[in-house]
């Protein structure tokens, strides 16, 4: 490793980041929606957990078409979540406990309620140039707008272009129709976004997460995609590295902890994004490992996870990112994913083992681990019984789309129940009181029915709970340089259901083995040594791995 990579590894390898989905974390005022003061009230819990940074999802003014990822003002606080004074108090109190704050920057698009877009709708040429507008045919009308500029599909369903009759133009929205894509080819747009970074940097923020940031550079020539939904044209786009370097430099955040969410990205691109010599980002999220239960790449269909494919993806992204000087964000879960223990394992019969196998597998890898709120408790997917209980725009859209494709209402609901983003957005359970101590009012989204036993208060008192297992995992990473910055190599296992790898540093070796099945599997031989951590209390015979065992 070069000197610069070693310094980076020593810093990032010892950190653990905790994601807070603010709407569902802790409600301080009884309106059923989490808020900034609610987070402040829970800081002691987070400090005791042992994490270093709190990634907080967007709390900016927003019409909430996509739960805050449709930003109407980047430099203000949505009154639903509190005030700027509440934010300043959170920042001060977090710093007292050694916790950094990571803010979510949604820079691919703004809400159509944003002042910039409203000025564009009024015909202001300066702000029309802020967005990806394309002229419609001269004879287009509201009733007959003609063919959209391309056949690209929105990630939330339907065409990715919306016609504006008053302008006789189409605008691009890769997500909801209320989320208009910014035109990063316009240097004024990049300057505006750098100003946003400086605003929060001046308020003491020292970490940033960039939402779907690898989508911001669109191709100069727009063309139909006859092979897919269009993403191959705009993912990791033509000027993405140039633009990232510029905004990091002009925003004054070079050297701070940053992470990019990379949608449908490529390995080579992520090496470039995260190699410190390029001065772009500290680390990157990629989602390939979360698609191993997508039949033929289709999210809205079901299949059992493909464990050999999962292993191969870990091999690629761990070993090749290391070789190229890149850095991975390690995660199973976030606000856009169903609860992973229910999804990849068996929470009906092996709840504890399922809830601890997954973090054992990734927290010991090379990179920076992320914990999504409630993951440390083993929270499971919803037990909702009706589409009316869901709030997520994507889920509601696809419940309709799946039926339009020929599925019955029950078949469509089965898929939505397994895939919905709301599976990971149910409120955090703090205790066994009504609504899990999340709120004294009516929660914006229902809790999972098992919250009386799966909650912070109950698990804090139980040494064998997932919560206390997570604390041990975090402490282990902070205590062991080999886990923080050691090399990584995946091993051939005697079973396709077992993922095994080793970490090495300065002559030391750590062997990690994880059984991704509900049956016993043969274990790899280990020559002596001690067990640093295991999700089974008793030692076992050493020759086999028990169901969902990780050690």
Residue 2 confidence (pLDDT)? 42
Residue pair 38/27 in contact by the 8 Å Cβ criterion: yes
457 is catalytic: no
Residue 528, pLDDT > 80, answer no
* Mean pLDDT computed over every residue of the chain: 96
In total, the chain counts a number of residues equal to 551
Query: Averaged over 178-206, what is the pLDDT?
Result: 97
Residue 371 confidence (pLDDT)? 98
Among 70, 104, 181, 261, the active-site one is 261
Question: What one-character-per-residue DSSP string does 221-259 give?
Answer: S----SSSSSHHHHTT-TTHHHHHHHHHHHTT-TTSEEE
Residue pair 454/429 in contact by the 8 Å Cβ criterion: yes
**Cα–Cα dist 446/493, whole Å:** 42
441-496 residue pLDDT tens? 999 999 999 999 999 999 999 999 999 999 999 999 999 999 999 999 999 999 99
Q: Tokens in use for 288?
A: 């390939």
Question: What one-character-per-residue DSSP string does 106-143 give?
Answer: --SEEETTSHHHHHHHTT-HHHHTTB-EEEPPTT--SS
What share of the chain in percent tops pLDDT 70? 99
Tell me the three state secondary structure of residue 316. Answer: helix
**Cα–Cα dist 516/310, whole Å:** 10
501: closest CA among 340, 318, 290? 318
211 is catalytic: yes
Among 35, 176, 183, 211, the active-site one is 211
**Rg over CA atoms, the chain:** 23
Residue 164 confidence (pLDDT)? 98
Residue pair 358/341 in contact by the 8 Å Cβ criterion: yes
Residue 290, pLDDT > 60, answer yes
Residue 395, pLDDT > 60, answer yes
Question: What one-character-per-residue DSSP string does 366-412 give?
Answer: SSEEEEETTGGGT-------SGGG---HHHHHHHHHHHHTT--HHHH
**Cα–Cα dist 319/313, whole Å:** 10
pLDDT range class, residue 328, cuts 50, 70, 90: very high
Tell me the three state secondary structure of residue 284. Answer: strand
What share of the chain in percent tops pLDDT 90? 95
Query: Averaged over 210-235, what is the pLDDT?
Result: 97
Question: What one-character-per-residue DSSP string does 413-426 give?
Answer: HHHHHHH-GGGGTS
Residue 3 confidence (pLDDT)? 46
- Specify the range with the lowest mean pLDDT, choosing from 76-90, 266-280, 519-533: 519-533
List all residues 6 or more positions away from 245 whose beta carbon is below 8 Å from its beta carbon: 278, 279, 280
Residue 197, pLDDT > 60, answer yes
Residue 138, pLDDT > 50, answer yes
Residue 86, pLDDT > 80, answer yes
Residue 5 confidence (pLDDT)? 53
Residue 527, pLDDT > 80, answer no
429: closest CA among 418, 417, 443, 419? 443
């Amino acid at each position: 490793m070069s000197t610069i990579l070693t310094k980076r590894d020593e810093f990032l390898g010892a950190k653990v980041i905790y994601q807070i989905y603010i709407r569902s974390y802790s409600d301080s005022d009884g309106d059923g929606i989490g808020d900034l003061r609610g987070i402040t009230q829970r800081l002691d819990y987070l400090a005791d957990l042992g994490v270093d940074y709190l990634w907080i999802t967007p709390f900016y003014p927003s019409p909430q078409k996509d739960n805050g990822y449709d930003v109407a003002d980047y430099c203000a606080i949505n009154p639903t979540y509190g005030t700027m004074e509440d934010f300043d108090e959170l920042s001060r109190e977090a710093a007292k406990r050694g916790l950094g704050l990571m803010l979510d920057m949604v820079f691919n698009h703004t809400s159509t309620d944003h002042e910039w877009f409203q000025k564009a709708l009024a015909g202001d040429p300066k702000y029309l140039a802020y967005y990806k507008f394309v002229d419609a045919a001269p004879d287009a009308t509201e009733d007959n707008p003609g063919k959209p500029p391309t056949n690209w599909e929105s990630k939330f369903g339907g065409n990715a272009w919306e016609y504006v009759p008053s302008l006789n133009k189409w605008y691009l929205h890769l997500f909801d129709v209320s989320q208009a894509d910014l035109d990063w080819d316009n240097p004024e747009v990049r300057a505006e976004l750098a100003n946003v970074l400086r605003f929060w940097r001046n308020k003491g923020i020292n970490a940033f997460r960039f939402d779907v940031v690898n989508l911001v550079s669109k191709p100069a020539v727009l063309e139909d995609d006859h092979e897919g939904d269009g993403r191959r044209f705009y993912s990791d786009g033509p000027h993405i590295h140039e633009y990232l370097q510029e905004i990091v430099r002009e925003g004054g955040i070079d050297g701070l902890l940053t992470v990019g969410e990379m949608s449908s990205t490529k390995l080579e691109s992520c090496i470039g994004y995260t190699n410190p010599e390029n001065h772009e980002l500290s680390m990157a999220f990629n989602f390939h490992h979360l698609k191993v239960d997508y039949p033929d790449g289709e999210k809205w269909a079901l299949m059992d996870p493909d464990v050999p494919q999962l292993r191969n993806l870990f091999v690629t992204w761990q070993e090749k990112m290391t070789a190229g000087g890149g850095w991975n964000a390690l995660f199973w879960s976030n606000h856009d994913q169903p609860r992973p223990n229910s999804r990849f394992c068996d929470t009906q019969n092996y709840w504890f083992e399922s809830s601890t196998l997954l973090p054992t597998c990734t927290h010991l890898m090379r990179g920076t681990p992320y914990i999504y709120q409630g993951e440390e408790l083993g929270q499971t997917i919803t037990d909702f019984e009706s589409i009316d209980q869901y709030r997520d725009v994507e889920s509601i859209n696809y419940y309709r789309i799946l039926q339009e494709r020929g599925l019955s209402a029950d078949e469509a609901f089965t898929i939505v129940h397994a895939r919905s983003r709301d599976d990971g957005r149910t409120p955090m359970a703090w205790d066994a009181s009504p609504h899990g101590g999340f709120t004294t009012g009516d929660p914006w989204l229902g809790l999972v029915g098992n919250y009386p036993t799966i909650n912070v208060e109950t698990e804090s008192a139980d040494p064998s709970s997932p919560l206390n297992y997570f604390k041990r995992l975090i402490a282990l990473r902070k205590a062991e340089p080999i886990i923080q910055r050691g090399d990584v190599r995946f091993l051939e296992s005697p079973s396709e259901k077992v993922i095994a790898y080793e970490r090495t540093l300065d002559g030391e070796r750590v062997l990690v083995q994880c059984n991704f099945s509900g049956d016993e599997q043969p274990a790899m031989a280990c020559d002596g040594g001690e067990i640093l951590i295991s999700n089974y209390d008793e030692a076992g015979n050493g020759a086999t791995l028990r169901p969902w065992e990780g050690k």
